[in-house]
Structure 1
Amino acid sequence: MPASRRGFLAAAGLTAVAGCLGDSASKTPSGPLSLPTADERLPLPASPERLRDAARSGGPSKDGIPSIDEPQFVGPDRAGFLADGDPVFGVVRDGVAKAYPQKILAQHEIVNDTLAGTPVSVTYCPLTGTVQGFERGNTTFGVSGRLINSNLVMYDRHTETWWPQMLATSIPGPWNGDPEIRSLREFRLIWTTWKQWRDQNPETRVLSTDTGHAKNYSRDPYGSYNPRRGYYADDDLLFGALNGSDRFGPKRVVMGLRTPSGATAFPKDALRSAGQLRGSVGETPVLAIYDDRYDTAYGYLSPDGRSFERDGNRLVDANGTAHEPDALPLSRVHTFDSMWFAWAGYYPETDVAE
């Protein structure tokens, strides 16, 4: 395994990570910053200063992996570059469905887009297997070129503050040494396959390969999830974890959720088998529900320990009312896919449900 991400990508046939930079590095927003943030700050695994000191270069420099700042979308009939099993990251907002192909995001990591009039950033870190969406207000996010816990460190182009993707929270960095420490407002992206997403959302729009950058989008340069090849297939890491854990294989996929009270992880393969699993964040019980429409899961706070019976892919409560997996009468908590080493690296005290 090459010692750097630049070497890994070059070995995969990309002699220049940045490709054609276009204008992404020069699009500095003007006017005062307006950035929606969460009502409560999410927990950090260490002080902001320690996290800053743990950052290391991932190979490419600032904006060396260019964000997509003017995304174009096509209909399913023009998405011939996608095979049925290709991973996509899907979202529905106000009845409009969009899909972001993994093999495009793997080479850009950030798409600055708009959903139903709301400016957002769709972000993906190939090294940790995490896809997350954030409301971005009147700024845009770029790729800093640094990694913490092997995870993408974004920066906002208004204040040049660092934002580790998985933490969704600002920390100081070399371009802004004293930012306000706050957490971004998140939204859910569903990691699924093109076929599963298209079957449920036949009118979906798909991020086009017309990105304005000279890239080969025929494959993910890190390998393939289906079947597992390349970086995704073995236990080797290009960069280390912030905290080590040998409880599971480092790249076993978990569905993780965190609140200001704590964090919990649900192994995805165990969720497939069980259909639902219980855990806790702090003192609050939580429930994870598997959804076979997309091969994903949703997490809920369940302080009264309510139970549900599965009826196919639906959940039936004590009153006999059936609910879809993403619409239980409980408080839903933001939940996302992650490789185990990355989740445990940021949340070493995480609860784990199996």
Structure 2
Amino acid sequence: MNKRIENLVEKLKENKIDNLLITDPYAIFYFIGKWYEPGERLVLLNVSKDSQVILYVNKLFPTEDLGVELKWHDDTDNPLKDVIKDIKGTVGIDKKMPAMFLLPLIKETDCEFVEGSHLVDYLRGRKDSEEIEKMINASIANDKAMAKMEEKLSEGLTEEEMTKYLKSVYEDLGSKEFSFDPIIAYGANGANPHHTNDSSLPKDGDSIVVDMGCILDDYCSDMTRTFFYKSVPEESKKVYETVLAANLAGIAAVKPGNKLSDVDKAARKVIEDAGYGEYFTHRTGHFIGLETHDKGDVSSTNDAIIEVGNIFSVEPGIYLPGKVGVRIEDLVLVTEDGCKVLNNYNKEITIVG
């Protein structure tokens, strides 16, 4: 039994849960190192507080020895037949279990079912040494990709053309996947935090928001930098300097024992004091790992305590409708005495073109 499963077993004991049923492919990979795309079929990991670990899997999915007990079924079987036999007492259910499997379990057993994903989310939110190394490497690759993007932006290509170029850059760096659809937003487009890239071309004085990340060795990167095309209008310069100060203030608040809301408060106060409070329209950050948005956020309402091994983004922004958008985002790893910023790409105001 690996260390991650050992940690889960301890959590099951602490919470008096007899079995935890896991169907989320990300969580299954986290615990046993195997990716599945089950579609409508059942792939389920059952971890008991007695340290029994069973994987129920359709015969369509070749599965090697994973150090857990395997129980097979095929398309003509009731995929839940063994699960029903193997659970008892209080059973945790994860957030991804389809109703087509959950409802029969509730009907055909006398177990008490409770939500159990918070146990998995807690463990995934505290990265181990292997995960930290992978996250650092993914962010190093993202820094290198951002350098290529800054250079290419001077050519005045469309947002869509820059997106295609980014894909080729990531491939050269060993990644075949975006961790999310990248945002390349010129001028007023940048005032939409989730702008969809289009055929827009940059104009003199435009801000250029570049929000991007890749998946490398199963782990995600995410970073945002904002550049300016040919020149920087005075108001845009003030906006940029305010966002940079907010980014640095948020990072300075990242310490074990502080609240996640403290980070949001520190970044938001800088923007509010500068008179732009109403134009910072989203939370300050999100957790990241196997998924670009792991469970957990950096917001004014999340008073969870920051812990060593957390990795999350600090990404304040100001969005002036019809004018300009600026966002600066870094990933931070919480250490014993503060944090390590995983992105080392320049954040000083930069003109391209």
Richer in strand (by share): 1
Larger Rg: 2
TM > 0.5 between the two? no
TM-score where L is the length of structure 1 = 0.27
Richer in helix (by share): 2
Greater relative contact order: 1 or 2 (C-alpha under 8 angstroms, separation 6 or more)? Answer: 1
